[in-house]
Chain A
Amino acid sequence: MLLEIKDLRVRAEGKDILKGLDLSVDAGQVHAIMGPNGSGKSTLARALSGHPGYEVTGGTIRYKGLDLLDLQPEERACEGVFMAFQYPVEIAGINNAYFLKAALNAVRKHRGEPELDAVEFMRLARDRAKLLEMDQTMLNRSVNEGFSGGEKKRNEIFQMAVLEPTLAILDETDSGLDIDALRIVASGVNALRAPDRAIIVVTHYQRLLNYIVPDVVHVLSEGRIVRSGGRELALELEEKGYGWIEPEATGARA
């Protein structure tokens, strides 16, 4: 098992958000995490990436046999954990290409691989930019600065394509995307599906899952996974909404 989460409890802004979450993900799989607003989807994504604002108060996360909670955010990234941000941060004055080269070389160094020089990096970056149908000029702009919502999300998946993570968590990558941008982002993600890589897609809507077809769908409610199933579960949610899940979940707990 690539990722094994047991009884995870997370607090943020003084509130308990995750209240005993269990989740197992195998390499090669795509898991979708769905759920109503406030159910804890983004909290799960941020806790996995090590965001300092999310305090783990209980439970364990095993990743590649490591205790993930023991690792700093940058160590997690170097071990192949990648989160595509729901709200990518704008950083004035840091060139996108410079930033990504620094990130890639940090990861490569950690893996014991030689660092790429500027020429090698640009060759790789240009190749991966094509995958996302990205304008080359985006590489030379400041990180996310002045990017449209769609450009920011595309830039996230572009970074994923360059960094080649083992575990990618896409936090509401579909929000704010029009249908063309959604198609481009999804096809980029699909091109990155691989037997040694797992992807967790966090989304409120099943729309994205028409393009990125998941192996397993989980429904999160009030900080726990209350239903798991195949792709058809997402379609059922689309049809009936989240309302029917919650009473049942409450019943299950009683």
Chain B
Amino acid sequence: MPQLAEQQDTYQAAFDAFRREPAFGSGAEADAREVAFDRFLARGYPTTRDEAWRHTNIAPIAALSFERAAAAVPDTAALAAVAFDGVSHVAVIVNGRLSEKLSSLAGLPAGVSVTSAAVGAVPDVADLNAFVDLNSAFVEHAIVVDVAPKVVVEAPLHLAFVAVPGRAPALVSPRLVVRAGDGAQVTIIESYTDLGSGVTFTNVVADIHAAPGAFVDHVKLERQSNEAFHLATTIVRTGRGGTFRSHNVTLGGRIARNDIISVLEGEGAECTLNGLYVATGDTLVDNHTTIDHAKAHCPSHEVYKGILSGRARAVFNGKIIVRPDAQKTDAKQTNKALLLTDDAQINTKPQLEIFADDVKCTHGAAIGQLDEDALFYLQARGISLAAARTMLIHAFAGDVLNGIRTASVRDAAMRLVETQLSI
């Protein structure tokens, strides 16, 4: 049975309140919301009896009564901390709403835009699960990033998603659409930060399209509080000869879950899905990735690494689909976790579904503690045990973080890793 009954009234009340607001829209847009909400109620939240949620118990989310996050103005000083040095193109999205006043987008090159669009104006996303339904019901506007064909955006674009808690737990439902035209190149940094204290529930859906020959470098940095809930569904389609690179860094949240579905839908398309997560205390991080090789000659590379301490738990599920047309696929997946305490726990599963015969698919998983021999080697040269541990953790995390091209983002992520682990 869906686990929703308990709080169904809360969601219904929030939706009814939304229905009375202009942002709800009318006509087809309103109808789409109603359909999505009905589907959400009928479907209910997944339970641990659902295979994709077997190790991720979302009962703490189901138990809370959320309110749709209100419009809010974050504290300017606090907002400054969200920025990255040297990254001047910033779109600030507060509680799911693009704030033109707080954003600095004037300097974007011609052919690049970040706009707020009616949900009806962007393509639907597949109704994958209750969280996508919930997003479709409550999203107000889509944040749309368009990069015209052949436009090369040298400077990274920062999409700063900020959640400002209210009195009741705040439900934030952003929808992001990224469209990189033929041969376009862009680096997008999608960050999530809580400003203020209180519980927030960010439930985001991102739809990214890299047209033939386009190059999209995507950093997702989730640094919300350890009380926050963060659910993110990212659907990526990459056309012929296009490249998509993802650096998915998860450093906060009581429950943080990423579903990334990357479809290589043209020949010679390439994707890299890298991820780093740190979980401490009683938190849980779940990364479910799918790389769908639909066409031939597509390489994919995937490295996911996690560092767990306290009683933290993590889940990694890496599905690779190789469709009958996807001959000469070259897929490589690596998954490593470092358990710093005896009580930390990870469930990891590679899932290969191969329907073509001339392909190369490799996967490997390694779970363990810090290498005792390496620690002793460093100590034997005069380095303290604490410093030696820090060096090894840096090296472990650096393997993923060093792939982030923007130095200030990379450094900020490494500092947050240190803060989370108190090293």
Contacts and interface: CB of A to CB of B under 8 A. Distances in A.
Nearest to B395: A93
A102 interface: yes
B377 A85 contact: yes
A83 interface: yes
Given A89-B373, A106-B387, A94 B395 contact: yes
Contacts of B395: 91-94
Interface range on chain A: under 10, 10 to 19, 20 to 34, or 35 or more? 20 to 34
A91 B377 contact: yes
Interface in B329-374: 371-374
A89 to B, nearest CB: 4
A88 interface: yes
B381 A99 contact: yes
B15 interface: no
Contacts of A73: 376, 379-380
Contact of A77 (B380, B391, B392, B394): B380
The binding surface of chain B is classed by DSSP as helix
B378 A99 contact: yes
A103 B382 contact: yes
Interface string B382-394: 1111011001101
B418 interface: no
A136 interface: no
Nearest to B397: A93
A72 interface: yes
B399 interface: yes
B396 interface: yes
Contacts of A89: 371, 373-374, 376-377
A74 B377 contact: no
Given A89-B377, A91-B374, 10 more contacts: A49-B380, A73-B380, A77-B380, A89-B373, A89-B374, A92-B395, A103-B378, A103-B381, A106-B387, A143-B377
B374 A159 contact: no
B387 A91 contact: no
A74 B385 contact: yes
B382 A74 contact: yes
Contact of B384 (A51, A85, A106, A159): A106
B166 interface: no
25 contacts: A50-B379, A51-B376, A72-B379, A72-B385, A74-B379, A74-B380, A74-B382, A74-B384, A77-B379, A78-B382, A85-B377, A85-B380, A89-B373, A89-B376, A91-B392, A91-B395, A93-B394, A93-B399, A102-B383, A102-B387, A103-B378, A103-B383, A106-B383, A107-B382, A163-B381
A93 B383 CA distance: 17
A102 B399 CA distance: 20
Contacts of A143: 377
A110 interface: yes
Contacts of B149: none
A146 interface: no
A38 interface: no
Contacts of A51: 376, 380
A93 B398 contact: yes
Nearest to A105: B382
B382 A77 contact: yes
